[in-house]
Amino acid sequence: MNLSKTEIIRLLSDDEHEAKLLSHADAVRRQYVGDEVHLRALLEFSNICRNNCLYCGLRKDNLKVKRYHLSAEEMVETARLAAQLGFKTVVMQSGEDMYYTAARLCPIIEAIKKFDVAITLSIGERSYADYKAFREAGADRYLMRIETTNQELYHRLDPKMSWQHRYDCLMMIKELGYELGSGIMVGLPDQTIDSVADDLLFLQQIGVDMAGIGPFIPHPETPLADCKGGTLHLALRTMAIMRLLLPDINIPATTAMEALAQNGQALALNSGANVLMPNVTAGGYCKLYELYPGQKHSINNTPKQWYDSVCSKINSIGRIVGQGYGGHKSTLLSHKKSEA
Ligand code: SAM
Ligand code: SF4
């Protein structure tokens, strides 16, 4: 569906008709992608990062974080358990940790691929050669948020990074045949509704296969500790409009939404979202991967209990757990390759 910037701004600003927008997005979601909720096992394999994004708890100047990265064996074993539980996608996410060169990461991707899962990488900006190597090793999707399309704001919040370079990376990823995931945060300091409307049009224009939209939540150990942060309402509205703009893509109910309200992800699933990314990282590590306060961890549950509780949450709102790989495109290229 096409919406003008003026219409998007009106929808983003309209408190009174929010419920109507969210239920319309829910109906569009049902019509285009059905009732399945696709589960992605989130494996946070390293909290080491060379960058200093002002909003992020993992920024390199946050000296209070105890840094870790998982060994290859730990990663493969966690992915094996996730596949055994029933996950059909493993999302490998990290800070920009250069220890994980292509030479180190590719064999891990190849090993995880043997568990018959789709692989999403979310490890930030790399060279074309690295993206190509990961793709050839079996990575199917790549997730990297543009964060904001306001370049001046981006450069203020992401010191020493280049918006243009991030954009170029997204284009390389697309060209290499990955399913492309991107997204934004809403409620960044000095971000306007006008700018969020631009972000939505940008994601539509580059044709993302997946769009992750979450509220910015201030982390106490960052320079943005005293900022106000985004609201769940604005995040839900933004996400709902995304569903209208790109009706058949994958849209996760983000964990940042759940951090703001206990039923945040259920609300999101009823407002256009069709993906959940439960964390499968072992408890000891997962609590060290703190992007923002209020992240929910599975530390008190066994992986099986955690998986079952996510499934019953999905069923309790009248939805069903997705059985396939749950990609946007019907067949994953790397599966095609192995079938050929
Ligand atoms: N390092 C990679 C990157 O930046 O693309 C992947 C991991 S990064 C931690 C994943 C996402 O977390 C970022 O793209 C950003 O949108 C989000 N994030 C970071 N800090 C946040 C905060 N304080 N509130 C909400 N989301 C946050
Ligand atoms: Fe590093 Fe990503 Fe956090 Fe930026 S958002 S500091 S790149 S982990």
pTM, two decimal places: 0.96
Phi then psi for residue 22, to 5 deg, are -65, -40
- CA 60 to chain CA centroid, Å, is 21
pLDDT score recorded for residue 299: 53
Are 28 and 247 contacting, i.e. CB atoms less than 8 angstroms apart? yes
pLDDT score recorded for residue 339: 40
| Residue of 175, 119, 169 whose CA lies nearest to 145 | 169
Which residues are bridge partners to 91 per DSSP?
42, 120
- CA 34 to chain CA centroid, Å, is 20
| Residue of 282, 203, 179, 197 whose CA lies nearest to 238 | 197
- Mutate which of 44, 55, 56 for ligand 2? The one with the most ligand atoms within 8 Å of its CB, which is 56
Section 305-314 average pLDDT: 90
pLDDT band, very low/low/confident/very high, at 297 (cuts 50, 70, 90): low
pLDDT digits (tens, 9 = 90+) for 228-271: 999 999 999 999 999 999 999 999 999 999 999 999 999 999 99
pLDDT digits (tens, 9 = 90+) for 316-340: 999 999 999 999 975 454 544 444 3
Over 80: is that where the pLDDT of 298 sits? no
pLDDT digits (tens, 9 = 90+) for 163-182: 999 999 999 999 999 999 99
* 136 contacts: CB under 8 Å, gap ≥ 6: 106
Percent of the chain with pLDDT over 70: 95
pLDDT score recorded for residue 282: 84
| The two three-digit tokens of residue 242, written as one number | 């995304």
pLDDT digits (tens, 9 = 90+) for 189-200: 999 999 999 999
Instruction: Compute the distance from residue 34 Cα to the ligand 2 centre, in Å.
Output: 33
| Residue of 115, 117, 108 whose CA lies nearest to 141 | 117
Over 70: is that where the pLDDT of 222 sits? yes
Please, what are the domains in the chain? 5-339 (3.20.20.70)
- Mutate which of 51, 55, 56 for ligand 1? The one with the most ligand atoms within 8 Å of its CB, which is 56
pLDDT digits (tens, 9 = 90+) for 119-167: 999 999 999 999 999 999 999 999 999 999 999 999 999 999 999 999 9
Phi then psi for residue 29, to 5 deg, are -55, -45
Instruction: Compute the distance from residue 89 Cα to the ligand 2 centre, in Å.
Output: 22
Instruction: Compute the distance from residue 55 Cα to the ligand 2 centre, in Å.
Output: 8
| Residue of 312, 283, 315 whose CA lies nearest to 298 | 283
Over 50: is that where the pLDDT of 211 sits? yes
Are 227 and 189 contacting, i.e. CB atoms less than 8 angstroms apart? yes
> What is the spatial distance between Cα 4 and Cα 114, in angstroms, rounded to a whole number?
45
Mean pLDDT of the chain: 94
pLDDT score recorded for residue 330: 55
pLDDT score recorded for residue 126: 98
Four-CA torsion 213, 218, 220, 221, nearest 10 degrees? 60
Our answer on whether the CB atom of 59 is closer than 6 Å to any ligand 2 atom is: yes
